[in-house]
């Protein structure tokens, strides 16, 4: 996957995670409220520069969704499902477990009645359910798990429409299109750690962020970065690739060679001090990645799907997305930085 969709926050953070993703992926998108396009001063300084350098693409969901109110209805159905555990979440919200989401990510401004219904409905329902309340300006305070679900839902739908992989630098509870992500994660955890050790110190990156230099470097060395990323992803994501196989060993040798080549090019470009990371931040911890399978249309009854995955699937059908992957083919990455950010404005 060459393009990533960053979420849940508007501003992409200034971290090592950002350096790795900006450098090695073709395009990073970020879900942004519509008013930010007219009021760029709302971004933080770093985000504005990322956008100006065309390193991050701001994405207005309402420019992407054709039937936003119908998409919103699918999430509301999930809220009313047994899986959602509404009473428990209401209790959490009353206890102060909440996050902030900007309503304009779910709003069409102007005379479009359909858009206004969509905006009013999703937050009206959450407020009525006791899961959200109006905050300052266009912000709503939302119960934490519900906020995670809502942003994962939105990122999953938009990401699939644009062919961008939903990606985050924080721990997100919900992983769509998995039957039991906790069990899968435990199964893969040791394998991921083992590969992390093998890939240790193979990924060169500048210690400091210089966005002008990064933009120029990406333009000049696109193919080299692409080949390197593909090799890393092959090792990190293909769990059918045996670590004792000749292909695995050859891939490691190629990565070592590419590492030296990339480091030399970075030194030529005067990036400054280089550091060498692990797979974390390129492929990250693979959460909820199921065994390889076909990525055709979803097979079987929708009733067999968990309610959250069903909401995403139904929303994608409404939006006319073809070839929706089945559960075994859905690859959902969470790129988790070691230092989890505490900012909670979405």
Give the model confidence (pLDDT) of 159-168 as tens digits. 999 988 888 7
In angstroms, the CA 69 to CA 106 distance is 9
Alpha-carbon distance 160 to 167, whole Å?
12
Higher local confidence (pLDDT), 11 or 182: 11
Cα–Cα distance, 273 to 320 (Å, whole number): 47
Residue 332 exposure: Cα atoms within 13 Å on the Cβ side? 28
Segment among 15-24, 217-226, 229-238, 332-341 with least mean pLDDT: 332-341
Q: CB 319: neighbour CB atoms within 10 A?
A: 18
Q: What is the mean pLDDT of residues 307-324?
A: 86
Please, what is the Cα angle at 158 between 157 and 162, to 5 degrees? Answer: 120
- Give whole-number Cα distances, 294 to 166, 304, 326, 331, in Å: 20, 18, 7, 11
Asked if residue 215 has pLDDT above 80, the reply is yes
Query: What is the pLDDT at residue 63?
Result: 86
Upstream peptide bond of 8 is cis (omega within 30 degrees of 0): yes
b vs e for 118-140, b when ≥16 Cβ sit within 10 Å of the residue's Cβ? bbebbbebbeebebbeeeeeeeb
Annotated domain spans of the chain: 1-178+290-346, 182-277
More confident residue, 244 or 5: 5
139 DSSP β-pair partners: 102
pLDDT of residue 91: 93
| Residue 114 reports pLDDT greater than 50 | no
Task: Tell me the pLDDT of the chain averaged across its residues.
Answer: 74
Tokens 């001090």 correspond to what residue?
273
Report helix, strand or coil for 133: strand
- Bridge partners of 20, per DSSP, are none
Sheet holding 98-102, edge to edge: 98-102, 139-143, 132-134
Which range is least confidently modeled, 158-162, 174-178, 197-201? 174-178
Q: What is the mean pLDDT of residues 128-142?
A: 83
Residue 29, SS3? Answer: strand
Q: CA–CA separation, 251 vs 268, rounded Å? A: 25
Of 273, 264, 207, 196, nearest to 232 by C-alpha is 196
Band the pLDDT of 213: cuts 50, 70, 90: very high
> For residue 251, what pLDDT is reported?
85
pTM (2 d.p.)? 0.78
pLDDT tens by residue, 261-294: 999 999 999 888 888 865 444 443 232 222 222 2
Using pLDDT thresholds of 50, 70 and 90, give the confidence band for residue 141. Answer: confident
Instruction: State how far the Cα of 132 lies from the Cα of 117, in Å rounded to an integer.
Output: 18
Does position 301 have pLDDT exceeding 50, yes or no?
no
pLDDT tens, 15-56?
877 888 888 888 999 988 888 888 899 899 999 999 999 999
């Amino acid at each position: 996957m060459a393009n990533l969709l960053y979420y849940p926050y508007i501003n992409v953070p200034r971290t090592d995670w950002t350096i790795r993703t900006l450098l090695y992926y073709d395009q990073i998108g970020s879900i942004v409220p519509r008013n930010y396009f007219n009021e760029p001063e709302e971004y933080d300084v770093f985000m504005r520069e990322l956008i100006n350098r065309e390193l991050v693409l701001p994405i207005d969901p309402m420019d992407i969704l054709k039937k936003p109110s119908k998409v919103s209805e699918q999430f509301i159905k999930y809220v009313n499902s047994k899986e959602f555990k509404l009473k428990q979440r209401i209790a959490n919200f009353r206890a102060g477990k909440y996050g902030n989401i900007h309503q304009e990510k779910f709003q069409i401004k102007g005379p479009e009645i359909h858009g206004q219904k969509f905006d009013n409905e999703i937050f009206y329902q959450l407020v009525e359910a006791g899961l959200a309340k109006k905050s300052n300006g266009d912000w709503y305070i939302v119960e934490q798990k519900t906020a995670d679900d809502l942003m994962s839902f939105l990122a999953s739908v938009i990401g699939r429409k644009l062919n961008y992989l939903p990606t985050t630098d924080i721990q997100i509870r919900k992983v769509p299109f998995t039957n039991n992500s906790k069990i899968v994660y435990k199964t893969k955890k040791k394998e991921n750690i083992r590969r992390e050790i093998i890939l240790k110190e193979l990924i060169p990156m500048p210690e400091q962020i210089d966005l002008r230099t990064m933009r120029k470097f990406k333009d000049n060395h696109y193919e080299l970065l692409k080949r390197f990323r593909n090799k890393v992803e092959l090792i990190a994501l293909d769990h059918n690739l045996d670590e004792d196989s000749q292909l695995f060993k050859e891939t490691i040798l190629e990565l070592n060679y590419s590492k030296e080549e990339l480091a030399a090019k970075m030194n030529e470009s005067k990036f400054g001090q280089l550091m060498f990371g692990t797979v974390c931040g390129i492929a990250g911890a693979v959460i909820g990645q199921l065994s390889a399978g076909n990525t055709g249309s979803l097979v079987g009854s929708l009733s067999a799907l968990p309610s959250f995955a069903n909401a995403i699937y139904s929303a994608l059908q409404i939006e006319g997305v073809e070839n929706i992957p089945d559960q075994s083919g859905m690859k959902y990455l969470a790129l988790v930085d070691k230092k989890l950010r505490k900012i909670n404005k979405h």
